[in-house]
Amino acid sequence: MSKTALITGIAGQDGSYLTELLLENGYDVHGIDRRSSLFNRRRIEEARENARRRGQVFELYYGDMSDSSNLYRRIISCKPTEIYNFASQSHVAISFEEPEHTTDVNANGTLRLLEAARHFAADGCRFYQASTSEMFGDAPHSPQTENTPFHPRSPYGVAKLYAYWIVRNYREHYGLHACNGILYNHESPRRGENFVTRKITYSLARIKKGLQDTLMLGNLDNRRDWGFAGDYVRAMWLMLNQDAADDYVIATGQTHTVREFVEKACETAGIGIAWEGEGAGEKGRDTRTGKTIVEVSKKFFRPAEKTVLCGDAKKAREKLGWKPEIDFDGLVELMMKCDLDSV
């Protein structure tokens, strides 16, 4: 039977990597993308061109997670065998500015899509939900597993937790093959520029080329478990290709600070950096020019994080045979080199 995937949020980082993986594996791909005043499909342009040359089905539609009738029509028209739900207001800090919108898209939007899938998708259709380590928040321990109690600390995390539970309920109540991928931070050269990793590599590339003076950051000592998005979409696909639906933590199991990310990115860009001062007064100077290139700003500070978000992906390793191919150094080098080439 031919496989047909429907991807919400297809024009984002994960949507673009998953599209490439699915097209390589012979899928028909249909994607839903939110209209915005700026055209925002650059991440999927190459995949679209490749699909066109190979004669593969790759269709894009405008749609929104707040519009049930749009989701219904889309599922009726393309009859997917797999649905990947990536559409989300995905910025944690912005969810405090837009709590209702975040809840509508991330929580109710998932419910709307599940209802549409339950009624109109192909028989046996499989469903992937982009769940997140932010559901753990102030978890009681680190590293976290699939059994760690949740304690989200943002409107984003709370909305994603609703989505996680409604997906589990549709699996348990209706027998839908629906999986939650509990993904830790995953990055790439296609990451949005307001997430810290890409902000660092993009700004340092501009500083190196004389287009920008300083990079403003928040807490330099916050830690994250950062992996490569291309590795993580492979895990999603493996989840939907198991006989039984289940939930999986996807992570590297290693954490690094924002400061370490800056240092590794500087090393890759050939910039020497020396730190001076403390807290909000801390600065990073270019050791060659003496200029301040990194400053700490209260504007980007978030409340102190009590628990380190670090994932234990043992279940995914054992049941899916998944492991990440690109480590922290490789990830920073990849992102930094791409930004140096493209800026």
Annotated catalytic residues are 132, 134, 156
The residues near 320 (Cβ < 8 Å, ≥ 6 apart) are 235, 238, 239, 242, 248
Residue 92 touching ligand G4F (CB under 6 A) = yes
CB distance 158 to 204 below 8 Å: no
* Contact positions with ligand G4F (CB under 6 A) in 245-264: 258
User: 228 — alpha (psi -120 to 50), left (phi > 0) or beta?
Assistant: beta
Q: Which two tokens stand for residue 260?
A: 């370490």
Burial of residue 158 (number of CB atoms within 10 Å: 0-12, 13-18, 19+): buried
Using CB under 6 A, pick the residue from 54, 291, 302, 323 that binds ligand G4F. 302
Among the listed ranges 48-56, 69-77, 101-109, 188-196, the one in contact with ligand G4F (CB under 6 A) is 188-196
Residue 133 touching ligand G4F (CB under 6 A) = yes
Residue 127 touching ligand G4F (CB under 6 A) = no
Residue 90 touching ligand G4F (CB under 6 A) = yes
Among the listed ranges 34-42, 49-57, 127-135, 269-277, the one in contact with ligand G4F (CB under 6 A) is 127-135
Nearest in space to 146 (alpha carbons), one of 111, 180, 106, 110: 180
Using CB under 6 A, pick the residue from 103, 180, 219, 268 that binds ligand G4F. 219
Using CB under 6 A, pick the residue from 5, 105, 167, 196 that binds ligand G4F. 196
- The residues with which 8 forms a beta bridge, in sequence order, are 32, 85
With CB under 6 A as the rule, give the number of residues binding ligand G4F. 20
Q: Which two tokens stand for residue 322?
A: 């998944």
Residue 195 touching ligand G4F (CB under 6 A) = yes
Residue 222 touching ligand G4F (CB under 6 A) = yes
DSSP H/E element including 28: strand 28-33
CA 122 to chain centre: 27
* Contact positions with ligand G4F (CB under 6 A) in 148-177: none
Residue 217 touching ligand G4F (CB under 6 A) = yes
Q: What is the dihedral sign for C-alpha 285, 290, 292, 294?
A: negative
Using CB under 6 A, pick the residue from 103, 110, 144, 185 that binds ligand G4F. 185
Enumerate binding residues for ligand G4F (CB under 6 A). 90, 92, 132-134, 183-185, 194-196, 199, 217-219, 222, 224, 258, 300, 302
